[in-house]
Structure 1
Amino acid sequence: MASGTRRKTGFSSSAALLFQGGIGVLGLLAILLFGIPVHLASVGVWSSLIYGLFGAAATYGLLLLLTRVPGLFPENLERQMQGLYNFASSYSPAVLVLLSVLAGVGEELLFRGAVQGWLMTQTGPLTALLAASVLFGLVHYVSFTYFLVATGLGLILGAAYLLSESLLLVMVWHAIYDMIALFCLLRFPRWFGVRPVDQDNSPLQE
């Protein structure tokens, strides 16, 4: 995904992977401890994989189009995208792929499996969907616009889980979405108003 020189970040590869993996462990423990009902792949494994792949591509394409609509969001995402670019470009492609997979599995275990699943046993599907999605957005909060984007993605994933009854489907959806987003950000940074920098944090020339 990324090419050229790498810059150091506050997290080593091991720490980043351990943190992301820990989210999945937390979600799995919550599911087991509270006996939360989870639908693993009601539509079948292959259907979950295929729908997840196409869902991820369609979601990212839609989001990319929406960010191009002037005035749609209360602020632009350039600063957040620059920070994400700096973070992602410090890791190897293999680490980024693994981080994406861990995010897809772990965050869906926690937010869709544990949080949304538990809320569905206490309230109703719509309330559970909205609450889990807002919480998902808050956890990813770096700005109000980024919160809106993350909450919207949470709503899409949560609705997909409700309709498909397949946690595997949304895990694949989430993981592939992250891979596409990171690839596009690193390969085409200027799409997002990001200025690539070299190892000394100096802007690269065209």
Structure 2
Amino acid sequence: MALGKGRKSGISPNAALLFQGGIGVVGLVAILVFGIPVLLIGPGLWPSLIYGILGAVATYGLLLLLTRVPRLFPENLERQMQGLYDFAYSYSPLVLILLSLLAGVGEELLFRGAIQGWLMAYTDPVTAVLAASVLFGLVHYVSFTYFLVATGLGLILGAAYALSESLALVMIWHAVYDMIALYCLLRFPRWFGVKIVEPAANRPHE
């Protein structure tokens, strides 16, 4: 992503990485403390890797198509995309990759591994996937439309975890999805109605 220097997000790279990594720590602690069974590999590492990448590409492509359907969502996502663009633009590509990886591992440990896994022990799979997905959407709430998008993504990841029995698969899926989303947002901001930051000499390299 060869981009110029943008506006500062107000959150240092270290703080952003620490926060995202902390989510994974919370999920891991919950799994260990409550003895939640985790289905880690399922069909195997290579199938998890391949299907995770393919799933991420397909999911992002589907979302991109849905956002082009007039009046499908109760409000447009331009304001949220502008905020995400401003946030992401102030970080180096390395930091964004690390954030995506930590989000994939950490959030899936918490929402699919811990929360969905715990609910599976006390409810049926549909209820577990739905409840964990709604919580996932609420944590990402910045608007009702964004909540719907995040909940929808949670449903896809939750169903993928339940069907594949591979937490690794949904971790890869989530991380690659975030990488694709950030790349497209920064590389093609006009797709999302984002106002482009005026380029400066160089992008920061934290």
Name the TM tier (shorter chain). over 0.9
**3-state DSSP of counterpart to 1:100:** helix
Compute the TM-score of the two structures, normalised by the length of structure 1.
0.95
Which stretches in structure 2 are left out of the alignment for 5+ residues?
Answer: 201-206
Q: CA deviation at 1:6?
A: 3.2
Matching residue's letter, 1:130? L
Q: Deviations over 1:120-160 (max 9, x none)?
A: 11111111000000000000000000000000000000000
**3-state DSSP of counterpart to 1:122:** coil
Whole-Å Cα distance in 1 between the matches of residues 41 and 196 of structure 2?
41
Residue in structure 1 matched with residue 72 of structure 2 by the alignment: 72
Whole-Å Cα distance in 2 between the matches of residues 46 and 6 of structure 1?
38
Which stretches in structure 1 are left out of the alignment for 5+ residues?
Answer: 201-206
Q: CA deviation at 1:2?
A: 5.2
Structure 2 contact 6–197 (Cα < 8 Å) conserved:
no
Residue in structure 1 matched with residue 45 of structure 2 by the alignment: 45
Q: CA deviation at 1:197?
A: 1.6
Compute the TM-score of the two structures, normalised by the length of structure 2.
0.95
Q: Deviations over 1:154-187 (max 9, x none)?
A: 0000000000000000000000000000000000
- Which aligned segments of 4 or more residues in structure 1 are displaced greater than 6 angstroms? none
Matching residue's letter, 1:147? F
Superposition pairs of residues 1-206 of structure 1, within 5 angstroms = 1=1, 3-198=3-198
Matching residue's letter, 2:47? S
Whole-Å Cα distance in 2 between the matches of residues 184 and 37 of structure 1?
36
Matching residue's letter, 1:36? I
Structure 2 contact 3–199 (Cα < 8 Å) conserved:
no
Whole-Å Cα distance in 2 between the matches of residues 199 and 8 of structure 1?
13
Whole-Å Cα distance in 1 between the matches of residues 6 and 86 of structure 2?
9
Residue in structure 1 matched with residue 204 of structure 2 by the alignment: none
Matching residue's letter, 1:79? R
Q: CA deviation at 1:7?
A: 2.4
Matching residue's letter, 1:113? G
Q: CA deviation at 1:198?
A: 2.6
Whole-Å Cα distance in 1 between the matches of residues 40 and 9 of structure 2?
36
Aligned length: 200
Whole-Å Cα distance in 1 between the matches of residues 48 and 187 of structure 2?
28
